[in-house]
């Protein structure tokens, strides 16, 4: 037997989740599949050739370095009971403007490809994304692959390597999921199937209707007619389920305040255009008695107990947007009244006195002046996980005093105390003793992401905690096992039977 034949025999089975649109439910379904197959005693890895998101996590990279991948693949790896790593999302695009993205390849910024037009760089990116796919296929029993957007965008098809080119590369058994709550689900499924070339549509093994409300028997005879037209069965009708506990893939939630029970604490998160790492606020969306909402106008800050300035991929531009919306004054008034204001990463930088950009990465700007800090953007991005401990704090943040937690940092900015102003209190240090958080009155600025995912922080601030991620993954696996046709999920690992 040749080494190549032996490699092919050892290769994993690939199961791929495609969507008729963005937001159809690909990410959470791929996460659920990762845990389902892992529960069968199989070695499972997730993969997405290219993700576009400003939600990222720090993971092991190449040659002992650290890198970053999209949060969706981070959670999928955990669901698969694996350590997340850069090969699971070899290309990450982080939007900085409507026509520009920072290109992350195998965990690290590629400044050259970041400047290329997107069509021209697709072939180069596929050359970088393809080897990790084959490595994961050789090392595992199952690789769960997530597509991006729709595979049937005919204007993009020639340069789309994330969907059907990936599927064809490993002969993936594909599920096509649609959001039936939007309406037009059967047309979405049929149109997507028909727009694909025959050799690509042949890989679609099942349709999935996601976010269904009501009596599923009323769908008949739609699924049967769709199968007659396409030869593809509907394998699952998944009822609407908002409370599964997994963050949305790109962090973009609807505008309805969330939470259960009577609202004891109202938290408003400033929703500037290039906000990032919103997945870290998922626990706040789930805490009983907490109402989380997104604020884009002064009126949406009225009645808020806390104001949070989250991370940003374009800090100076988002700060300019914040001022243009008239949000700067109510934030300052909120702080002056002694009510909590929290800035995380880019939000911390905005709260300072000024932003300095000698390398032309982000932009110069005056800050909001609520913390006596200055931030300078450096060429090299700082990526690191960190073990943290809060200092002794006063005021509304006093419950965090002495609390130990874990987190992670992703930022170009380096922040220091302003030399001509009275220093703020150092609120947080990492394990190396470096200051990565400061407090002035009721205003707290931190470089650490992920603190609300820590049980110690939730208990200190809210007197309660949430079930861990592992219970979320188990719930997702239970859910799809309940709602997919019996045997369908394991059947995806078998070669398809010949069609009549």
Contact 64, 164 (CB under 8 A): no
> Is residue 134 among the annotated active site residues?
no
350-369 in b/e burial notation, b at 16+ Cβ within 10 A? bbbbebebeeebbeebebbe
Q: Tokens for 487? A: 């045997």
Q: Which of 378, 367, 355, 346 is nearest to 272 (CA)?
A: 346
The residue from 193, 334, 411, 449 that is catalytic is 449
21-35 in b/e burial notation, b at 16+ Cβ within 10 A? bebbbbbbbbbbbbb
> Is residue 449 among the annotated active site residues?
yes
Cα–Cα dist 132/153, whole Å: 25
Cα–Cα–Cα angle for 230, 235, 241, rounded to 5 degrees? 125
The residue from 345, 411, 412, 483 that is catalytic is 345
List CB contacts of 351: < 8 A, sequence separation 6 or more.
309, 341, 343, 367, 368, 370, 371, 373, 443, 445
Strands 142-146 and 108-109: unpaired
List CB contacts of 73: < 8 A, sequence separation 6 or more.
46, 47, 48, 51, 84, 88, 89, 146
Q: Give me the active site residues, please.
A: 345, 449
């Amino acid at each position: 037997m040749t080494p190549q034949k032996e490699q092919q025999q050892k290769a994993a089975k690939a199961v791929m989740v495609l969507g008729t649109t963005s937001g159809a439910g690909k990410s959470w379904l791929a996460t659920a599949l990762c845990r389902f197959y892992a529960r069968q005693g199989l070695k499972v890895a997730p993969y997405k050739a290219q993700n576009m998101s400003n939600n990222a996590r720090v993971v092991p990279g190449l040659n002992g370095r650290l890198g970053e991948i999209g949060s969706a693949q981070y959670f999928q790896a955990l669901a698969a009971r694996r350590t997340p790593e850069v090969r699971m999302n070899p290309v990450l695009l982080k939007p900085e403007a409507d026509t520009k993205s920072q290109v992350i390849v195998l965990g690290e910024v590629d400044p050259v490809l970041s400047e290329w037009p997107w069509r021209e760089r697709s072939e180069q990116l596929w050359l970088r994304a393809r080897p990790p796919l084959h490595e994961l296929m050789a090392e595992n029993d199952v690789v769960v692959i997530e597509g991006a957007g729709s595979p049937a965008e005919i204007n993009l098809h020639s340069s789309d390597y994330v969907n059907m080119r990936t599927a064809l590369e490993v002969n993936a058994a594909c599920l096509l999921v649609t959001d039936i709550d939007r309406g037009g689900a059967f047309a979405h499924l049929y149109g997507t199937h028909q727009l694909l070339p025959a050799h690509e549509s042949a890989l679609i093994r099942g349709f999935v209707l996601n976010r269904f409300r009501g009596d599923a028997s009323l769908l008949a005879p739609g699924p049967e007619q769709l199968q007659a037209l396409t030869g593809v069965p509907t394998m699952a009708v998944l009822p609407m389920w908002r409370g599964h506990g997994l963050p949305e893939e790109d962090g973009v939630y609807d505008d309805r305040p969330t939470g259960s029970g009577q609202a004891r604490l109202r938290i408003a998160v400033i929703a500037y255009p290039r906000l990032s790492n919103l997945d870290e606020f998922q626990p706040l969306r789930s805490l009983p008695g907490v109402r989380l909402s997104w604020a884009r106008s002064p009126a949406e800050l009225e009645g808020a107990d806390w104001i949070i300035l989250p991370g940003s991929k374009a800090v100076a531009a988002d700060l300019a947007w914040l001022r243009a919306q008239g949000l700067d004054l109510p934030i300052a008034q909120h702080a002056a009244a002694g009510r909590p204001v929290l800035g995380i990463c880019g939000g911390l930088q905005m709260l300072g006195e000024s932003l300095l950009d000698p390398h032309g990465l982000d932009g110069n700007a005056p800050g909001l002046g609520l913390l006596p800090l200055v931030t300078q953007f450096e060429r090299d991005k700082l990526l690191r996980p960190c073990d943290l401990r809060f200092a002794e704090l006063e005021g509304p943040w006093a419950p965090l005093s002495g609390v130990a937690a874990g987190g992670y940092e992703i930022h170009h900015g380096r922040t220091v105390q302003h030399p001509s102003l009275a220093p703020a209190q150092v609120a947080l240090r990492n394990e190396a003793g470096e200051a990565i958080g400061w407090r002035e009155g009721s205003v707290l600025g931190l470089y650490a992401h992920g603190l609300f995912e820590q049980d110690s922080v939730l208990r200190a601030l809210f007197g309660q905690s949430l079930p861990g991620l592992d219970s979320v993954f188990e719930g997702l696996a239970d859910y799809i096992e309940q709602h997919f046709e019996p045997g369908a999920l394991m059947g995806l690992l078998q070669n398809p039977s010949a069609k009549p």
